[in-house]
Amino acid sequence: MRYAISIGLLLLALATTGNAQFETDVSGVGTSAGTFLEIGVGARAQAMGGAYAALSNDPSGLYYNPAGIVWVKNAQLEVMHNEWLVGTRYDFVGLLLPLPFLNSTLGTNLIMLDYGEQPVRTVERPEGTGELWDARDYTVGLTWALALTDRFSFGLTGKYVSQKIWHETGSAMAIDLGIHYNTMLKGLKLGLAMCNFGNEIGLRGRDLDTSVDPDEKNENIDRVPAEYKTGTYPLPLLFRFGIAYERELGRFGTALVTVDVNHPSNSTESVNLGAEYGVAGLFYLRGGYANLFEKDRSNGLTLGGGLDYYRRGSMGFRIDYAWSDWGILEESHRFSVGILFP
């Protein structure tokens, strides 16, 4: 139990330090790099408003709280595709491998946001030069989660974050820390996570190369190579605390309610709400609300459902769908497919 207290105090101390660092009257929107890290993964989690810190019991949990993955019993693979906003594509792949020692689980994941291609336009050629430019963000993470007791677990993710705009690229290293606790009250779970703690990102590339004349009055001096320097920006640091309560309803199925409280570095605090109703451990209906109380939020209502089939000793599968309302940005549709290995 002392491990739980120590790790919990560490995360609370980091949250307090972070709060002192970025507490302000303004939201901080537009002050971070790597904002694709805030989008969220997994159709099940997103259908429940992204309130997943106290669950995280499947590959999408690698994103929300790395400590939760330790409770899975079988190797799992999950793939998500999302036709994201304004023609962009957002994809996730996650893999969980329970280890036969130390009550631990190993996980890895890839998240990618592809902005597509656009024609290169200049002042001289506003209709296009014939070239195409593209932009792409991605992160690759490796996670290890350890059950310190039969109720308490700790998780750590190390990840590489990269952003690319045509010929310019930038990268950073970051970590996620999480704790998960199955309380004495049956069905009640708690989760706490700190995500995207790392160094800043600045872009560099050949389009920033130039040359300057060190002395315009002296014709005998050649121009010398130089480089435009871009600013560096921090990753979107996020603290999330979650509560989940699941109850058996006998022949009527199961009911699950989840709540996450979010404290981001580049926006105002918000609350995610989610609910799930399961029938026979096979069919699921879900709903939620994302970013409640956030200043100038764009999204809100979420809905979805899923089909989950698994029998002990055989391979199983999971298919999930999530719909999200994004107001003037219209709507988003997410699809996830999962495989549970025997």
The model carries a pTM of 0.86
Q: Rg of the chain over CA atoms, in angstroms?
A: 23
**Of the candidates 201, 205, 224, the residue with the CA atom closest to the CA atom of residue 214:** 224
48 backbone φψ class: left, alpha, beta (φ>0; ψ -120 to 50): alpha
Q: Above 80 in pLDDT, residue 283?
A: yes
Per-residue pLDDT tens for 53-67? 999 999 999 999 999
CA dihedral over 240, 243, 27, 44, signed as positive or negative:
positive
**Alpha helix (H) residue ranges in 267-341:** none
For residue 147, the SS3 value is strand
User: What integer is the mean pLDDT of 245-249?
Assistant: 93
Per-residue pLDDT tens for 134-171? 999 999 999 999 999 999 999 999 999 999 998 899 99
Q: Is 17 exposed, middle or buried (CB count within 10 Å of its CB: 0-12, 13-18, 19+)?
A: exposed
Query: What does the DSSP 8-state code read for residue 130?
Result: S
Per-residue pLDDT tens for 156-215? 999 999 999 988 999 999 999 999 999 999 999 999 999 999 999 988 888 777 777 776
Q: How far is CA 136 from the centre of its chain?
A: 16
- The beta strand positions in the chain, using DSSP E, are 76-83, 89-98, 104-119, 132-147, 152-165, 168-182, 188-198, 204-205, 209-212, 224-227, 238-248, 254-264, 270-279, 283-292, 301-309, 316-325, 331-340
Count the Cβ atoms, other than its own, within 10 Å of residue 90: 21
Average per-residue pLDDT in the chain? 87
Bigger pLDDT: 4 or 84? 84
Query: What does the DSSP 8-state code read for residue 101?
Result: S
The partner residues of 191 in beta bridges, in order of sequence, read: 180, 242
